[in-house]
Amino acid sequence: MGSGASVIVLAVFYFYAILLTPFCILVGSRTSWRMGWLMSVPLIFLPLALLITFFVPVL
């Protein structure tokens, strides 16, 4: 049984992603769709990849 830290980390990430998604959409609408994707990859998908590796157990 875990300590529940994973639930807190997931909640923080969801809140972070909910706040940054409209920002990336706004940047993409003001400049170009490529700039929106360039903003979203390091701001949203990189922390998502780190979160996934945090939850994958080490063999």
Tell me, what's the pLDDT at 9?
83
- 16 is in which domain, residue-wise? 7-54
Query: Quick check: is 47 in a domain?
Result: yes
Query: Quick check: is 38 in a domain?
Result: yes
Tell me, what's the pLDDT at 58?
66
Query: Quick check: is 1 in a domain?
Result: no
Which of 7, 19, 10 lies closest to 48 in space, CA to CA? 10
Query: Quick check: is 48 in a domain?
Result: yes
Q: Across the 59 residues of the chain, what is the mean pLDDT of every consecutive 10-residue run?
A: 76 90 90 88 89 77
Cβ(7)–Cβ(34) below 8 Å: no
Contacts of 55 (CB under 8 A, 6+ apart): 6
Tell me, what's the pLDDT at 3?
72
Query: Quick check: is 2 in a domain?
Result: no
Query: Quick check: is 59 in a domain?
Result: no
CA distance 22 to 3: 32
Considering the entire predicted model, what is its pTM? Answer: 0.72
Query: Quick check: is 27 in a domain?
Result: yes
Please provide the DSSP assignment of 2-20 as one string: --SHHHHHHHHHHHHHHHH
